[in-house]
Amino acid sequence: QDIKASYFSNPKITKAKVVKSNGIWTYKNGKRQTHIKKGTVLKVDGYEINSGGYRRFKHSGHKTNFTANKANIKVVK
């Protein structure tokens, strides 16, 4: 994954909107959890880099993670 194509940890990032046409999945412990449709705004509660080097946002509402890839999500206010 190209790290320039991902968001980095920033305390000002509190929400992200799904922009990928077929949506994204949330993950917990490396397992796919919930499918999120395009246009959905998710609360960002943190940031992590997993063991594979992928950057992800934490979403405490579901206690899951989701991609920080700029091609899939857009940070919103």
Show pLDDT as tens, one digit a residue, over the chain (77 residues): 455 689 888 888 999 999 999 999 999 988 999 999 999 999 999 998 888 888 899 987 778 999 999 999 999 98
Angle (CA) 51 47 12, round 5° = 160
With CA atoms as reference, report the closest residue to 71 among 26, 19, 36, 23: 19
Residue whose tokens read 């880099």: 49
Structural domains of the chain, with CATH: 3-76 (2.30.30)
* pTM of this structure: 0.84
